[in-house]
Amino acid sequence: MANAASFLTEMTLKMLDKVERAGLSPLHQQPVAQARLSYRMGVGAMEGERVEVARVDNFSIPGPAGSIPARLWAPSHDAGLPVLLYLHGGGFVVGGIDTCEAMCRRIAQQSGAAVVAIDYRLAPEHHFPAGLDDSFAALQWLAAEGASLGLDPKRIAVGGDSAGGTLGATLALMARDAGLALALQLLFYPSVEPSAMTASYQAYSKNLMLDEPLMRWFETQARGPGFKSDWHREPMLAASHQGVAPAWIGLAECDPLADEGRKYAKVLQEAGVPVQLTVWPGVVHDFINMGRFIPEAYQAHAAAAQALKAAFGL
């Protein structure tokens, strides 16, 4: 495959040049606490405008290891709004409610649905599957208690980006097994089979936003002693994908994870699951958090919102 730069959009190249000229240390070369702060600051500098929404509530959800911080955004105070449970990206190590807020606000505003994000437990303090356990607890709570927030517990979707997309895909499988019906799984460039060596990994894992050293660092932090990968971390490996929620999958073309997303879309389709797949050309991993520089970010937010609107019948 040709040099990755030849595929990148002009705005993506300009953004990468700004990052390079800033001379910041790569996340994987920083202590974990500093990496978290750096990622949060980086998203804050690139995410673009945060739109106003009618309702913003901070609350907590009972979890397996204590309260899980959560935030709700809604376009109105109407009762009975459907809800998207959104799981942020960050390799199971960095990221949080604040780093996905700009997009969650836009999706709520444009879809007419409420969006709830959580601060699930992060590695290395809490190895995988701690974050997954928190995410499933939040999903179960929304189904059982969402009405207490004025939400419709019968209309729930799950979603996320990168590591959060992994969590969303796995939650869709767990919800199916638990008899919990979901309207949609909304996945941005999920990591669903990191053990596979794909063509996109080989082409785009050097000198871009998500490179091989960073991916190795994330996995090392996330995996505790004795970790054995199974379908909870690699949902591609699930014995069956039949009966899971319909999927909307959004990918960045110049992303090591792009082929995993394509393959997962195919696996779901072969299992009879309705899938809508969109690939944004010439952009890189995490582009949805770069609206200040990359216009495709807002296009992706709007497309996700439209998919959610359709799934909820809004």
Distances (CA, A) of 5 to 13, 71, 111, 209, 269: 7, 38, 34, 12, 32
Order of strands, edge to edge, in the sheet holding 114-118? 55-63, 66-74, 114-118, 81-87, 151-161, 185-188, 247-254, 275-284
Distance CA 161, CA 284 (A): 13
Q: Which two structure tokens, joined as six digits, stand for 175?
A: 């919800």
> Does residue 255 have an active-site annotation?
yes
- Of 127, 135, 161, 162, the active-site residue reads 162
- Of 28, 88, 127, 285, the active-site residue reads 285
> Does residue 77 have an active-site annotation?
no
Residue pair 75/54 in contact (Cβ under 8 Å)? The answer is: yes
- Of 255, 259, 286, 301, the active-site residue reads 255
Instruction: Respond yes or no on whether the N-terminal peptide bond of residue 26 is cis (omega within 30° of 0).
Output: no
Enumerate the active-site residues: 162, 255, 285
